[in-house]
Amino acid sequence: MGKDTSPSWPIPSPYTRYSHLRNAAPKSVSSRTSLPVDYNADLPLTDAYASTDPDVEACHLYRDQAHFNFAAQKRLPTFDIQAGEYVPWTCQWLGIDRMIVALNTNQCTPAYCHHIINPSRSPEWCRLFPVKRNFKDPALDVVGYLTPRTHTCIWHPIHPSQDRLGFGGEFPGEDGAQTDTDTDCRVSSPVAPSSSSSNLSDHRVFASSTATFNTDQMVYLQRDLYRACDLDEAVENDHWVSLGPLFTSSHLRRTLETPDYKGTSLFTENEAYERQLTDREIVQSLLDAAESGHYLNNPRSHPAFDLSERGAAPACLHPFMDESSERIAFHRTGHLRGTPVGTALLLFNGTKGISIEEFAELRKRSHKCTSCYCYFSFDGYQRHIGYRGVCENSPDLETVPDLSTVLAKIKPFSIQPTFVSRPAATNAVGLAWLTWNSHIGVTHDTWAQLITAWRRCDHCGNVRSFQGHISHLEEKTDKFWSCGDGGDDD
């Protein structure tokens, strides 16, 4: 019987698959939402290892410990085998999004349930995972829960980071010593506009040059792309640059407004302020994981991999998940979809993909506005400032540099002219890329998601967004998979 060529990537989230086998550990942390399940300490587990689990009386004790010593005090616990009880979980990742990234990339010590006291059960089986609050959950004071995926156990509520900070005991420096995170909060936190009603988390900072330095460095050093290539290939191509120009003009077009047009900001004061902020720690977690090759081995662990549920997606991608987002994004990018960069974006987010050299060069063709701190393609930036040379993403309409003369001297971006035969993926990542190539641009947090959310096919060598890669593996040509045995690429 011939080999099964049906694509096996992606597989359903391990969160939806339960097993009582000792070593049946999920591959990565899921952020899917779910309603909490009451833990009945009187109902023991019934698998092969249940005979050495804690008895009913002990389970009642552990449940009460978790509730009165931690949930009621808005703290998060982990079970300590030596102490024989739940103890504070030391985790420096304050927000649930950063917690998910930290656990995905092994930058944070996991928490465990009380079943770990059973020597027959593996730590991975007893591991607790963060689950975001379901919108139907009546508990409005929590943002999620810690709970195991493999069995029914205690759901430990995760309260907002501001609430948890008030109780202490969970984070490094609980004895009163100031942590590095605390220092960042006190020194770098921006001041909201006086009229702002924004719920600003104090771990965010302005996306200034200092805050975005590591992001910009990764784009230029391309260490994550080198890891995606064989050693011989990486040595042969010392620098990721596009080959000879196939297009002779840089298409730095201006908008059609007249020079004396007064204009207004595209965003309110509060909206503009929010777009200037970045979560430096979660961005650094993304960059570290990307540069270490973590997402190459485990793409499902990337926060932007599964965008099927709005609540599980990164907050910075929510604006691209509304019903009208597709229409707005395609309208904003306009004629720029026909430029070399626009063509590359459609291919990157579709089934055809682009070469890794083209992707490396595409990421480098980005510029950050010094006023709104948003990232743009070169063409998008020139449309952004218009004839008046001001940033229209802020009510201040601040004057910003006109780079048309400089950019005109840069070697034009090149890509093989091709016809996009299949519509590009129109999920949040694809629409965010289109917005990057427009006068609106994307925030620093969004840009960090985009430049790390990609997959290189082991068969054809082209690079695509996650959704583009999935569509590529599902694509058939003359009843054969487009990349040979297609489904083996994970």
The full 3-state SS of 59-127, as one line of letters, equals: HHHHHHHHHHHHHHHCCCEEEECCCCEEEECCCCCCCHHHHHHHHHCCCCCCCECHHHHCCCCCCCCCE
Question: Tens place of pLDDT for every residue, the chain, 490 residues?
Answer: 444 443 333 333 332 323 333 333 344 444 455 678 888 888 989 999 999 999 999 999 999 999 999 998 888 999 999 889 999 987 755 578 778 877 877 778 899 999 999 999 999 999 999 888 887 888 888 888 999 989 999 999 998 876 665 544 444 333 333 333 322 222 233 444 443 333 334 467 888 887 888 888 888 787 788 778 754 454 444 444 433 332 333 333 333 343 444 467 788 888 888 899 898 888 988 998 898 888 988 888 899 998 888 888 899 999 999 888 888 888 888 777 778 888 889 889 988 889 888 898 889 889 999 889 999 999 899 889 887 888 988 888 888 888 888 777 777 777 765 656 556 668 899 999 999 999 999 999 999 999 999 999 988 889 999 999 988 888 755 444 456 444 444 5
Retrieve residue 466's tokens: 């996650």
Q: Considering Cα of 33, then 36, then 41, then 47, what sign does the dihedral take?
A: negative
For residue 423, give the 3-state DSSP assignment.
coil
Q: Please state the domain extents for the chain.
A: 14-165, 205-488
Neighbours of 130 (CB within 10 A): 24
Q: Specify the amino acid at residue 174.
A: E
For residue 160, give the 3-state DSSP assignment.
coil
In order of 31, 193, 297, 333, 392, the CA distances from 28 in angstroms are 10, 39, 11, 35, 41
Alpha-carbon span 332 to 354, nearest angstrom: 23
Identify the residue whose tokens are 């899917």: 32
Half-sphere exposure of 306 (CA within 13 A, CB side): 19
For residue 480, give the 3-state DSSP assignment.
strand
Alpha-carbon span 45 to 317, nearest angstrom: 40
Return the ∠ at Cα 38 (arms to 33 and 44), rounded to 5°: 120
